[in-house]
Amino acid sequence: MPYTPMELMICCAARELEDGKTVAVGTGLPCAAAMLAQRSSAPNLVILFEAGGVAPQLPTMPVSVGDSTTFHRAVMATSMVDVMQFCQRGVVDYTFLSGAQIDPYGNLNSTMIGGDYHKPKVRLPGSGGANDLASFCWRTLIVMKHDPKKFVAKLDFLTTPGYLTGPGAREAAGLPVQTGPFRVITDLGVLDFAPDTCRMRVRSLHPGKTLEQVRASTGFELAALDPVGVTAEPTDRELEILRTEVDPGRYILGRAV
């Protein structure tokens, strides 16, 4: 069955979520991935929303993190304070993030573009809960378009910590041991981080994509697993769930990557 780049990215993200684990999500692609996982490989996945919905059974795609559907048949209808406390206590396994820029160590910028903080070329929304989530959730899944303007050697502003400057830097900054970026899912492939250097590397290429394409779309030197894998295509069942149950209105599926 034919599929779009957006559908492939959602399926890749959903496959990373394990049954019985917890994931803090926002709206858009992360929510679609969590809904797909809950309806397929991870029926006991616990979804948390920043506004306070804990373990809902999502009937439809919510339009915001405070949408009433994020509390549908939930275990708790609580607050942002409690959800962030869960992260600080170490009970949230996964979170999803994105940004305007990402560097080799998975650090993210969602604050500004340009060299002058007071007079930037572009002023962006800022951290929101991103810094807190990336600091305290065990594994961060990053989803973004693969573009050399986004994948940069040095951020214009450090909003959200990845592995900071490399091995040991997160721990030296006071962040929990064994937390940090886990996967980077793009429209070209899936990337992870080398355990010895904490630098990003190519884990798998999406069907039809080449390592040369990925490296040409990256603004820093990029290693790859040997051999580099090929991303599994979405199954007919995954696509059926996405199109008929998760997002029949095509609010997310209809978007370009």
What residues are annotated to the active site? 50
Neighbouring CB atoms inside 10 A of 78's CB total: 17
Amino acid, single-letter form, for residue 142: I
- For strands 46-49 and 101-102, give the pairing: unpaired
Burial class for 120, CB neighbours closer than 10 Å (0-12, 13-18, 19+): middle
Helix (H, G, I), strand (E, B) or coil at 54: strand
Q: Is the distance from CB of 102 to CB of 144 less than 8 angstroms?
A: yes
SS (H, E, C) 235-249: CHHHHHHHHHHHCCC
Q: Is the distance from CB of 27 to CB of 35 less than 8 angstroms?
A: no
Q: Can you spell out the DSSP letters for 7-33?
A: HHHHHHHHHTSPTT-EEEE-SSHHHHH
Angle between the N-to-C axes of helices 29-38 and 5-15, in degrees from 0 to 180, rounded to the nearest 10: 60
Which tokens in the block code for residue 187? 């429209």
d(CA 13, CA 228): 18
